[in-house]
């Protein structure tokens, strides 16, 4: 589909951060420097174009190489594979800044880093690491993650995608749905069952016969990222493309923990952008002879937004510290993902109220963030499933079985 020329916004991105409790005191100089560099990148490469990308449902493929250059892909993985070798709080801050630009842009980066590069690093062979990770880190290759199926979302263990051992190769059949990056991906880390019903990860490459990636159109959400399916029709996968390090559902779940952690930080970025836009608008918009920021109800909204952002920042930082120390569990990450995305969506809705009718236009980022967050609150564990993960931890009784 032909896309009309992208229009660069004339509005300047004036964002300087939201830090009411001096949370920067908890960060290292390196972490602050990393955040600053990504913030500058977003202001230059995403903010001027994102509204038009979203309006035109255009995924700017050129951003992939740019993400690679700025170190946004797999920043928490070792330097020896072309990655950043950074800590998890730095990774979180990178996701926060990118999602302030747009959730779809953060999806592109976090899928690549946490759902493609992470499993290859964690469960792959040294040959697989050397073959794929440097090219994924640089943005030379784009990857995607195939777990969700048309009939198996929150219940991935029921997947029907399968592979058979044919002696010198595996034969892969099945389909995956709602896959970020799939239409443009060079490789897919696909989770499928072997003949014994055990789940394994396989690296499937673009160009393998029988492998196709139909694009999902007419989305109201994440319009600047590309989403699609993965279809496997007797795909011959070389045996060396199996990830041997771990099998079972626990393997993809470990990947999702890493990605959900990034979402917990990223959602803060979207919330901050909505809050800052509302704060500025409330100071400028005159009604009844004074700025609407002078009215009690507007001040209530802004005060609650700032409070919730601050709470989310502390939650994300603490879980990040636990990640660095190897102490974070799935339930901790679930709490942070669930809380912070809900917080961001609530702030987007309140910010839309403050902007009045202007809040539904592309003149302001509010409606775009709101629509994006409707996907973020569902993907990588729905809002309700994360609630039940925590409920299971509290009671010892799994309510989703």
Annotated catalytic sites, by residue? 380
Cβ neighbours of residue 366 under 8 Å, at least 6 residues apart?
A: 274, 277, 278, 348, 351, 352, 355, 359, 360
Between CA 60 and CA 30 the distance in angstroms is 29
Between CA 258 and CA 109 the distance in angstroms is 12
Q: Sign (positive/negative) of CA torsion 197, 203, 208, 211?
A: positive
Strands 143-146 and 187-193: parallel
- In angstroms, the Cα distances linking 151 to 21, 174, 178, 180, 228 are 45, 12, 11, 17, 15
The count of residues in the chain is 401
Whether the Cβ atoms of residue 20 and residue 306 lie closer than 8 Å to each other = yes
Between CA 307 and CA 76 the distance in angstroms is 29
Whether the Cβ atoms of residue 74 and residue 80 lie closer than 8 Å to each other = no
Whether the Cβ atoms of residue 268 and residue 345 lie closer than 8 Å to each other = no
State both tokens at 11: 């509005």
End-to-end C-alpha distance for the chain, whole angstroms: 43
Return the number of other C-beta atoms located less than 10 Å from residue 48's C-beta: 17
Dihedrals phi, psi of 46, to nearest 5 degrees: -115, -55
């Amino acid at each position: 589909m032909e896309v009309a020329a992208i229009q660069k916004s004339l509005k300047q991105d004036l964002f300087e951060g939201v830090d009411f409790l001096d949370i920067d005191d908890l960060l290292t100089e390196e972490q602050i420097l990393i955040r600053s560099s990504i913030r500058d990148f977003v202001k230059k490469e995403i903010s001027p174009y994102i509204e038009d990308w979203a309006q035109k449902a255009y995924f700017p493929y050129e951003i992939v190489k740019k993400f690679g250059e700025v170190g946004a892909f797999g920043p928490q993985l070792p330097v020896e594979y072309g990655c950043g070798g950074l800590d998890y709080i730095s990774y979180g801050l990178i996701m926060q800044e990118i999602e302030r630009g747009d959730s779809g842009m953060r999806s592109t980066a976090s899928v690549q880093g946490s759902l493609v590069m992470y499993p290859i690093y964690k469960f792959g062979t040294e040959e697989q690491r050397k073959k794929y990770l440097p090219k994924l880190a640089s943005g030379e290759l784009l990857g995607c993650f195939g777990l969700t199926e048309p009939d198996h979302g929150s219940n991935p263990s029921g997947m029907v995608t399968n592979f058979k051992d044919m002696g010198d190769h595996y034969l892969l059949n099945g389909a995956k749905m709602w896959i970020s990056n799939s239409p443009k991906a060079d490789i897919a880390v696909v989770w499928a069952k072997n003949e014994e019903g055990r789940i394994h990860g396989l690296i499937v490459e673009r160009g393998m016969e029988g492998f196709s990636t139909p694009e999902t159109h007419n989305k109201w959400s994440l319009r600047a990222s590309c989403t699609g399916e993965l279809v496997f029709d007797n795909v011959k996968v070389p045996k060396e493309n199996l990830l041997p390090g771990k099998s079972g559902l626990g393997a993809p779940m470990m990947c999702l923990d890493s990605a959900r952690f990034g979402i917990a930080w990223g959602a803060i970025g979207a919330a901050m952008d909505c809050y800052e836009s509302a704060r500025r608008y409330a100071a400028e918009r005159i009604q009844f002879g004074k700025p609407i920021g002078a009215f009690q109800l507007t001040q209530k909204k802004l005060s609650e937004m700032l409070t919730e952002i601050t709470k989310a920042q502390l939650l994300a930082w603490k879980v990040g510290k636990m990640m660095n120390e190897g102490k974070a569990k799935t339930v901790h990450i679930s709490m942070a993902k669930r809380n912070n995305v809900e917080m961001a969506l609530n702030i987007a809705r309140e910010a839309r109220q403050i902007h009045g009718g202007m809040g539904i236009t592309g003149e302001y980022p509010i409606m775009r963030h709101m629509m994006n967050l409707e996907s973020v609150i569902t993907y990588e564990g729905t809002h309700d499933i994360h609630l039940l993960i925590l409920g299971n931890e509290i009671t010892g009784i799994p309510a989703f079985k």
